[in-house]
């Protein structure tokens, strides 16, 4: 049908805004649920992915339209963890999501919308309430598989801590049972410098902001897995170089690790080996999307000294500046697009 005849019969359609185009393409391209948060001007959505590729599709759209992708529920998780376990908990109140409603078939972003894929539009830059955000709730990504030969478990980010504790992963005993593994990883931070191996975290499969997927894990003579992607082949040497900087040495010598990102994973205690996965302990969801984790039984899941339950010493004043500088450089190295927020 010619465009002029279509306009005569159906009326001239209002052009989609970039945010409307993002919503429509997201809802039509995933198998999980897309839920609207607040009104149109808020530019907030929640995705409950049904499978791995839902998040990969969402990441690509977020990068195209300038939408920040955040792990959902971090504020509630931080409050729950802080009430049960000693140790520093990172909570970002800016990530608190408002009440949500499912998108209905009448909504223009519905999966039943007859509109064709719009042409790429300029990214969303400014909104009334700040940058546009997609919250991703991993609760349906909850497969837990025993890798018995190695005494390890492969867990998706939506696994509940109570189920992990029941499976024999002792680091989760006493943790809030209904919280997800993704929330634990985002907040768990309290191990003393160089002792992150006590977490029981062996490896993480990550989705970086440029779409690269890679497993991060042990890195040394005992690890035979090569780094597959060019992105991570560049990232890892940059992180090792950063770990030898004066700022990193100052943080490593502090009585507690003062930086948000655990660069001390590259400076382990003598009895432990370097493990790149430990960089994400306490990362707040801001370095990468974690697709799965490899775990073994560990010690106190967020205790400051492997189960001692003692109060953490304050961050030394001379470590505050170096810690903030390290945070900025690690964040830029992992997420130069700032896709995952701060």
Question: If DSSP codes are grouped into helix, strand and coil, which group holds residue 73?
Answer: coil
Residues of each domain in the chain carrying CATH 3.30.465.10:
144-334
Angle, helix 52-65 to helix 18-29, in steps of 10 degrees = 170
List Cβ neighbours of 181 (8 Å cut-off, separation of 6 or more). Answer: 155, 156, 157, 158, 159, 160, 161, 164, 293
The beta strands (E) that lie in 103-211 are given as: 133-136, 144-147, 152-155, 201-207
pTM attached to this predicted model? 0.81
pLDDT for residue 12: 56
The alpha carbon of residue 36 and the mean position of all alpha carbons in its chain are separated, in whole angstroms, by 21
Give pLDDT tens digits for 87-128.
443 333 333 344 444 443 334 333 333 333 333 333 443 333
**Tens of pLDDT along 203-225?**
999 999 999 999 999 986 555 56
Per residue in 39-52, pLDDT tens?
A: 777 899 999 999 99
Share of the chain above pLDDT 90, in %: 55
* Phi/psi-derived region of residue 193, left when phi > 0, alpha when psi is between -120 and 50, beta in every other case: beta
Pairing of strands 289-295, 152-155: antiparallel
Domain 144-334 has CATH 3.30.465.10: yes
Averaged over 239-250, what is the pLDDT?
94
Half-sphere exposure of 275 (CA within 13 A, CB side): 23
Question: What is the reported pLDDT for 6?
Answer: 56
């Amino acid at each position: 049908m010619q465009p002029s005849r279509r306009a005569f019969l159906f009326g001239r359609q209002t052009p989609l805004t970039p945010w409307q185009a993002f919503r429509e393409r997201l809802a039509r391209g995933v198998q999980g649920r897309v839920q609207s948060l607040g009104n149109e001007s808020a530019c907030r959505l929640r995705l409950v992915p049904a499978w791995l590729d839902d998040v990969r599709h969402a990441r690509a759209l977020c990068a195209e339209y300038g939408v920040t992708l955040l792990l959902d529920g971090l504020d509630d998780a931080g409050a729950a963890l802080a009430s049960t376990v000693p140790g520093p908990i990172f909570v970002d109140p800016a990530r608190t999501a408002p009440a949500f409603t499912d998108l209905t078939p009448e909504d223009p972003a519905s999966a039943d919308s007859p509109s064709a894929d719009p042409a790429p539009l300029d990214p969303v830059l400014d909104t009334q309430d700040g940058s546009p955000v997609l919250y991703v709730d991993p609760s349906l990504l909850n497969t837990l598989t025993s890798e018995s030969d190695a005494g390890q478990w492969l867990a998706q980010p939506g696994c509940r801590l109570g189920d992990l504790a029941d499976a024999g992963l002792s680091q989760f005993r006493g943790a809030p049972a209904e919280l997800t593994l993704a929330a634990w990883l985002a907040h768990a931070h309290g191990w003393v410098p160089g002792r992150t191996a006590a977490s029981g975290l062996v490896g993480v499969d990550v989705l970086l902001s440029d779409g690269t997927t890679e497993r991060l894990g042990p890195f040394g003579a005992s690890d035979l897995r090569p780094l597959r992607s060019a992105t991570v082949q560049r990232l890892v040497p940059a992180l090792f170089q950063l770990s030898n900087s004066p700022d990193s040495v100052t943080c490593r010598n502090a009585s507690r690790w003062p930086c948000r990102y655990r660069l001390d994973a590259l400076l382990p205690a003598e009895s432990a080996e370097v493990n790149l996965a430990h960089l994400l302990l306490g990362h707040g969801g801001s370095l990468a999307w974690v697709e799965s984790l490899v775990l073994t039984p560990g010690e106190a899941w967020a205790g400051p000294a492997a189960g001692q339950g003692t109060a953490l010493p304050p961050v030394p004043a001379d470590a505050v500046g170096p810690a903030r500088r390290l945070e900025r450089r690690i964040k830029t190295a992992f997420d130069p697009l700032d896709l995952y927020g701060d």
